[in-house]
Copies of this chain bind each other. A is one copy, B any other.
Amino acid sequence: MTSTRPLRADAARNRQLLLAAAAEEFARHGLDASIADIARRAGVGKGTVFRHFATKDDLLAAIVLDRIDALNTAGERLLHEADAGAALLEFLTIAARQRQQLDLSFLQEAGELNSEVGKVRAQMFHTVNRLVDRARERGAVRADIAGADIILLMCAPNYVASYVPDASPDLWQRYLAIIFDGLRPEGAHPLPHPPPVAEHGA
């Protein structure tokens, strides 16, 4: 992402190993994942972690950046889909499938991480807002839904499914469907609370 110069072959390989290992460990243990475990899982020495990511937070930031970037790309593409409602559902599906691989819900605690992350996150907010606007205009979702609601609800299916110890890896699909049904205009009841205003986590 920072694109200084092409990494040496082995270094590039280790970087990928590290990102994968870190994703896995963070997913399992949240922010408490230990550098030692990440290094072990990646099959490298502890010091190598720090060569690639100066700090534990930097490592986390790199992972998050990748994920949000991918979402942004997908979101931009879906803006050009004909069926706005299907596009929004597709976006949520992609987000959930990604999150299935790495639950970043713990990021809530993580404050700002990184200005780079802040930037892509802002981009994502913008994209989601546009996806929601389109869907609302076509009547694909209820009128009282805001973009911020979608961003918040985006993580819920995985969260819910994660409480089941040995669940099917696709269980989140069930809860995404339920929640999406709640977003449709058909059986909508008035909402007792306005949407939140602005900033929030990943």
Residues of A within 8 A of B (CB): 29-32, 105-106, 108-109, 145, 149, 152-153, 155-156, 159-165, 167-168, 170-171, 173-175, 177-189, 191-196, 199-201
Give the chain B neighbours of A183 by CB distance below 8 A. 178, 182
Residues of B with C-beta under 8 A to A156: 156, 159-160, 175, 179
Q: Would you give 30 A-B contacts (Cβ < 8 Å), ordered by A?
A: A30-B109, A32-B32, A145-B178, A149-B175, A153-B175, A153-B178, A156-B156, A156-B160, A156-B175, A156-B179, A163-B201, A164-B200, A165-B199, A165-B200, A165-B201, A168-B193, A170-B192, A171-B193, A171-B196, A173-B193, A174-B191, A174-B193, A174-B195, A177-B191, A178-B179, A178-B182, A181-B189, A182-B182, A185-B187, A186-B187
Contact of A192 among B29, B177, B188, B194 (CB under 8 A): B177
A140-B164 Cα distance, complex, nearest whole Å:
25
Q: 6 tightest CB-CB pairs across the interface, nearest first? A: A186-B187, A182-B182, A174-B193, A187-B187, A181-B182, A178-B182
Shortest CB distance A196–B (Å): 4
For A145, list chain B residues within 8 Å (CB). 178
Q: Give the residue name and chain of the B residue nearest to A177 (CB).
A: B191
Which of chain B's residues have a CB closer than 8 A to the CB of A164? 152, 196, 199-200
